Structure 1
Amino acid sequence: MIDATHLKPHRTAASLLKKRDVPRRIGRTKGGLNSKLHAVCDGQGRPLIMLLSEGQMSDYRGAALMLKVLPSPKALIADKGYDADWFREALANRDITACIPSRANRKVPIPHDPVLYKHRHKIENMFGKLKDWRRIHTRYDRCAHTLVAGI
């Protein structure tokens, strides 16, 4: 399973926007300063890969960065944010079945397995458990980038 969630940095994190040797992965969005946590988890909801990016990065751009280190499962479950032809093709080249619902603006919808898609709640539960930790949820400390390894 693959998904992404927003992390709101603490209000004191504005000083982290300065350019430094180690990027802090905080970007400006409509809602203010934000980071985005992209994650891949196994069938039981345990995280396998995590990527911290700026808040304005789209889901499928984050998936493109994680594609090289993605394990080889039988199927990959994702939400509509990952519905891109190049992403589906990249998964097919690796013999991974894509269980991704089509976006509403797609001319010809691509069918997906709704029974398999019901298991996507496990990655949402994983994000819920991660966000219970204040340090991760609000990026409270100045070393949050060491907690979640970027690629």
Structure 2
Amino acid sequence: MKRHEISEKQWNRIRDKFPPEKKPQRGRPGKSNREMLNGILYWLNTGIPCRYLPDRFGPWQSVYSRFRAWTKAGVWENILTALIEQDLVDGTTLMLDSTTIKVHQHTSRGKKGDITRKPDGAEGA
């Protein structure tokens, strides 16, 4: 088992929470759910841009599109619920991706470039 990949025991706990794998119709067959999950885990754990995933995970577009499809289908919520039910994770687990947290200019109570703004109530002082 390589770093940032799940073990056989971990995979067996969550494998039924993923959508069924599609059978190949034309072209080369797609990667299995486990291989895609390992690519997603590598991407999220290392913090690298998705475009720089190692070649062993296949095209980065495939990893990203599978991640988005699973997000829309609620797969991540199902996995978290299953892990909570198995007492492997507590219900207070919280994950944030700081790359998507941005502060709007209004939340800082000032306009861009305005450093002379006075606090509320200090207008007449």
Q: Same fold (TM over 0.5)?
A: no
Query: What TM-score, normalized to structure 2?
Result: 0.29
Higher relative contact order (CA 8 A, sep 6+): 1
- From the two aligned structures, give the one with the greater strand fraction: 1
Structure having the higher Rg:
2
- From the two aligned structures, give the one with the greater helix fraction: 2
